[in-house]
Each structure stands twice: as structure tokens, then as C-alpha cells.
Amino acid sequence: MDLKKELKQFYGNAKKEIKQFYENIKQSPLTSLICLIVIVTALILLIELPHWQVSGINNVTEKVTLENQSRATLAQVLGGAAIGIGLYYTWRRINIAEEDLRVTQENLKVAQDNLKVTQDNLKVTQDNLEATQKVAQENLKIAQEGQITERFTRAVDQLGNPAIEIRLGGIYALERIANESEKDYWPIMEILTAYVRKNSSIEDPIVLQQDKVSLDIQAILTVIGRRNKPFTAKEPSFLHLSKTYLVGANLGQSNLNDARLGYANLTDAFLRLANLSQAVLYRTKLTDSRLKHTNLVNATLTEANLENTDLLEANFENAYLKGASLKGAKNLTVDQLLKVKTLYKAELDPWLEEELRSKGYSHLLDDEP
């Protein structure tokens, strides 16, 4: 019974080892072949050696007993050898695994180093790209500024051309530049207002012979009036149009906030819905002009001439009308005048003055501000 167990255990171990040998043959064919020869030899010895050892004994019972004992002993020896071989291969596999792990770790380190080099190269590439883009943007900006400067110079030169169509082209070219370039916006406004002051002055006898403003002056007034200040910064100064001859000018819906129009002649001008808030119109001539729905909040109209002017729903809130002439003004109501800052020495139609006094607003007429 013990022999059967020993043989069964031996065969089980042998089966496992044979399976492992098969796996190892692929890795070490020569070593595996040697081991296979050893195993076959061991099997032969296990079968034949015990029989040979007891061949000289004639007693059958004793012979069988000794043969079985010999086989058991040999099986244990061979089993131990098989275990030793298994341990050897296990050790070898561990060494191989450790070597593979070491190689893998080294490869991983190399890969990490390569990744770091790649990342460094990528960063250098990105830095170079950003630097290139920055240089390209700066070059583009310089080129654009150069183009704007060239356009600016050419447009200003056109203003001095005797041909009206060329002057008009220069005016509208300046308007486009003003809408594109913040740094050129206000200088262009100053150039255009200076052109108006020079070429449409109330002190020029030739200009005074005109029935209305010339085409180029009207074009500039249109450009100035429709400017919408596309940039966030506040305008650094005011529009200087004092002492200008603007008879019959079309300034409807124009933005003339804080403009200086002192002594200007705006007779018969169209100013419907214009923004003249905080504008200075000292001694400005507005006779027969149309100021319907015009914004005159905080405007200074000291000694201005508004005779026969259409003032339908014009907003005079906090406006200064000291010494202003409003005789014959059309569509002017007491309610509009009640909002003004002062009417001291202003000339009104008698019915307006009487109604103001009757409503208790004599101080607007009598008190010097």
C-alpha cells in the first residue's frame, strides 16, 4: 500500500515536472533535453534496478519485499531529485523574472528619460513658436501701423487738393482710419475741425458770400456728427468749431456733446435730435434753425440768437440762456423754459415772459446767475 502511494506521488510529481519541462523547452532547449534524458534514465532505473538488485535471491517472498523496498527507496531518491530539479527551475525562473524586471525598470527609466527629453523639446518648441508668433504679431502690428500712417498721410494730403472729389475722398478715408486706429482717432477729429475753422471761417469774406456750407465742410460735419467713439477711453478734449460759418448745415442727430461753437453762424441749420449737451454756444447765431427734440442739457447759450428757431420739445434742462434772444421762437413753451438755469436779460416774446412771471418764475428773468 505504501509503495502504491509512493509511486502515485512520484508519477504526480513527474507529471508536473514534465509539464514544466515542456514550458521550459522553448526557453532552454538544450537544458531541457538533458533533463528529459535524466528523467527517462531515472524511470528505467526505477523499474529495472530493484529487479536487478534482488536477482540473486531465490526466496520469492523475500525477493518481492526487497524489490519493493528498493523501489520505494529509489522512488524517494528520484522524487527528491525531481523536486530539486523543480526548485532549480523555480530559482531560475525567479532569476529570469528578476532580470526581466530589472530590464523592464531600466527600459522604463529610459522611457521616462526619453519622455522628459521629449517634453523639454516640446517646451522649447512651444517657446520658439510663441516667440515666433510674438515676433510675427509685432511685425504685423508694425506693418499695419505703417499702412495706417501711409493712408493717414495720403488722406491729409488729399485735403489740400483743389479738386472737391479728391478732398471728399480724403475726408472719408480719415473717417475710416479714425474708426480703426484708437491712437489716430482724436488727432483726426482735430484735423477735421481745424479744416472747418480754416476753410469756413466767419472772418473770411469769400466764405460769407456762400448761401450754405460747401460740400467738403458738410462732409466733415457729417463725419464728426456720426462718430460713435468705438474705443473705451473718454475723448481727451472737445470739438473746436468756434467762429465757423455753418449756414444751412445738416447736423441732424449729430453728436456735438461738449462742442465749442461760440460765435458760429448756424443760421437755417438742421439740428433735429442733435446732442448739444454741455456744448458752448456763446453768441452763436441759430436764427431760423430747426432744433426739434434737440438735447441742450447743461448747454451754454449766453447771448445766443435763437430768433425764429423751431424749438419743438427741445430740452433746455439746466441750460444757460443769459442774454439770449428767443423772440419769434417757434413751438417754445413755458414748460421748456421752467427747466433752464437762467433767463437773465433774455429776450422773450411778451406772452412767454408774462406767463413765466404769473407762475412765480420771475427769478429766472431777474436774478443774475
Residue 24 resides in a domain: yes
Which of 43-57, 145-159, 267-281 bottoms out in mean pLDDT, i.e. has the lowest? 43-57
Residue 41 resides in a domain: yes
Provide DSSP, 305-328.
Answer: B-TT-B-TT-B-TT-B-TT-B-TT
pLDDT greater than 70 at residue 70: no
pLDDT in tens, 152-171: 999 999 999 999 999 999 99
Q: Into how many domains does the chain fold?
A: 2
Considering 72, 99, 126, which residue would you say is the last residue of a domain?
99
Please answer whether residues 334 and 354 qualify as being in contact, where contact means their C-beta atoms are separated by less than 8 angstroms.
Answer: no
Q: Whose CA is closest to 244, among 209, 288, 194?
A: 194
Domain that holds residue 317: 246-369
d(CA 71, CA 47): 8
Residue with grid cell 478734449, as numbered in its chain: 237
pLDDT greater than 90 at residue 1: no
**Per-residue confidence (pLDDT) for residue 23, from 0 to 100:** 64
Residue 228 resides in a domain: no
Q: What is the mean pLDDT of residues 323-350?
A: 97
- Tell me the three state secondary structure of residue 219: helix
- Tell me the three state secondary structure of residue 282: coil
Residue 164 resides in a domain: no
Please answer whether residues 336 and 311 qualify as being in contact, where contact means their C-beta atoms are separated by less than 8 angstroms.
Answer: yes
* Mean pLDDT score across all residues of the chain: 87
CATH number at residue 255: 2.160.20.80
Considering 84, 99, 114, which residue would you say is the last residue of a domain?
99
**Per-residue confidence (pLDDT) for residue 60, from 0 to 100:** 63
pLDDT greater than 80 at residue 233: no
pLDDT greater than 60 at residue 38: yes
pLDDT greater than 60 at residue 132: yes
pLDDT greater than 90 at residue 78: no
Q: What is the mean pLDDT of residues 28-54?
A: 64
Considering 50, 72, 99, which residue would you say is the last residue of a domain?
99
Confidence of residue 6 (pLDDT cuts 50, 70, 90): low
pLDDT greater than 90 at residue 355: yes
pLDDT in tens, 284-298: 999 999 999 999 999
Q: What is the mean pLDDT of residues 181-208?
A: 95
Q: Whose CA is closest to 341, among 360, 365, 359, 358?
A: 365
**Per-residue confidence (pLDDT) for residue 295, from 0 to 100:** 98
Q: What is the mean pLDDT of residues 234-256?
A: 94
Residue 62 resides in a domain: yes
Instruction: Give 9 or 363, the one with higher predicted confidence.
Output: 363
Instruction: Give 41 or 305, the one with higher predicted confidence.
Output: 305
Confidence of residue 74 (pLDDT cuts 50, 70, 90): low
Environment class of residue 365 by beta-carbon count within 10 Å: exposed (0-12), middle (13-18) or buried (19+)? middle
**Per-residue confidence (pLDDT) for residue 145, from 0 to 100:** 75
Q: How far is CA 90 from CA 30, 75, 283, in A?
A: 18, 22, 114
Residue 349 resides in a domain: yes
Residue 237 resides in a domain: no
pLDDT greater than 70 at residue 49: no
pLDDT greater than 80 at residue 182: yes
Residue 287 resides in a domain: yes
